[in-house]
A and B are shown apart, each in its own frame.
Chain A
Amino acid sequence: MNINDITQMQTFSSGINKGIEQKAPMDEGSFGNILKDSIQKIDGLQKEADKAIIDLSSGKSKNIHETMVAIGKADLSFRMMMQLRNKITDAYQEVMRMAV
C-alpha cells in the first residue's frame, strides 16, 4: 500500500459522509482539512440529535418520529466515521510496517 491509497481513502470518506457534496478536486484540501470537515459535519448531526431529544422531553416537539429520525441519522453517520477511522488506522499501520 502506498501513500496514494490514502488519498483514495479520503475520496471514499468524502463520498460517504452526509452533507459533503464534495465535487472539489483532491488537491484543494489537505487530508487533515477534509477529515476535520467531515468530523464537524458529523458533530453537527450529533448536536441536532441532542437538540431533538431535549425538544421532545421538554414537550416543545410533539413528534416522536422526528426525534428518532435525527437519532438514526446521527447514529448512521457516526458508524460510517468509525469504519473510516478503522480503515485509516489500518492503512497507517500498514505504512508504518514498511521496513525503512
Chain B
Amino acid sequence: MDIFATFKISSSGMAAQRTRINVIASNLANINTTRTPEGGPYRKKGVVFEAVPVFQKKLDSEIKRNMKGVKVVEIVEDQTQPKMIYDPSHPDADEKGYLAMPNINLMEEMVNMLTATRSYEANIAAMNTAKGMAVKALEIGR
C-alpha cells in the first residue's frame, strides 16, 4: 500500500491526541470551578476514541480496509458525585455549608497529559520512520 496511508493514519492519531490534550487542559484549568452555566460544579471531561478505516472504497482489499485511523467520537462528562467540602463562607455553598467541588485529581490529569504527549510523539516517530523508509527506497538504483 502507498506510503501516504501511513501519513494519513499517523495524522489522525496526532489530531486525536491534540484533542485529548485540550480536554485535559480544560480539566486542569477548571480544577476549582464550582459554578458552571448548566448549574453545579464543573464535571471532569474525557474523550472517547473510535477506530475508523482510512480506506473506504469497496474495491480495496481486505487488508487495506483493516487499516484504521482514529477519530474522537465524543467528549463525555464524568457522572460520579462531586466532592463535597465543608465551607460555609463560600458563596456557592448550599444551605448545609457544603460546597460541591469538581472530582478532578491533579496527579491523574498530569499523568494523562504526559501519556497524551508521548502518544503524540510516538505518532510523529511513526510518520518520520515511514518517510525515512520511502527516502531510502529512492536510493535503489542510484
Interface residues on B, range: 10 to 19
**A63-B18, A69-B7, A73-B7 as given contacts; A79 in contact with B135, CB under 8 Å:** yes
In the bound complex, CA of A63 to CA of B17 (Å):
12
In the bound complex, CA of A30 to CA of B39 (Å):
70
- Contact partner of A76 (CB less than 8 A), chosen from B3, B14, B142, is B3
Is A44 part of the binding interface, using a Cβ–Cβ cutoff of 8 Å? Answer: no
Is B7 touching A79 in the complex (CB atoms < 8 A)?
A: no
With contacts defined as CB atoms under 8 Å apart, how many contacts are there between chain A and chain B in the complex? 34
Is A65 touching B134 in the complex (CB atoms < 8 A)?
A: no
In the bound complex, CA of A80 to CA of B140 (Å):
11
Is B124 touching A18 in the complex (CB atoms < 8 A)?
A: no
Is B11 part of the binding interface, using a Cβ–Cβ cutoff of 8 Å? Answer: yes
Interface residues contributed by chain A, number (CB under 8 Å): 13
Which residues of chain A (21-74) have a CB below 8 Å from chain B?
A: 63, 65-66, 69, 72-73
Q: Which residue of B lies closest to A87 (CB)?
A: B141
26 contacts between A and B (CB under 8 A): A18-B2, A18-B3, A63-B14, A63-B15, A63-B18, A65-B11, A65-B14, A65-B124, A66-B11, A66-B15, A69-B7, A69-B11, A69-B127, A72-B7, A72-B127, A72-B131, A73-B4, A73-B7, A76-B3, A76-B131, A76-B134, A79-B135, A79-B138, A80-B134, A83-B138, A87-B141
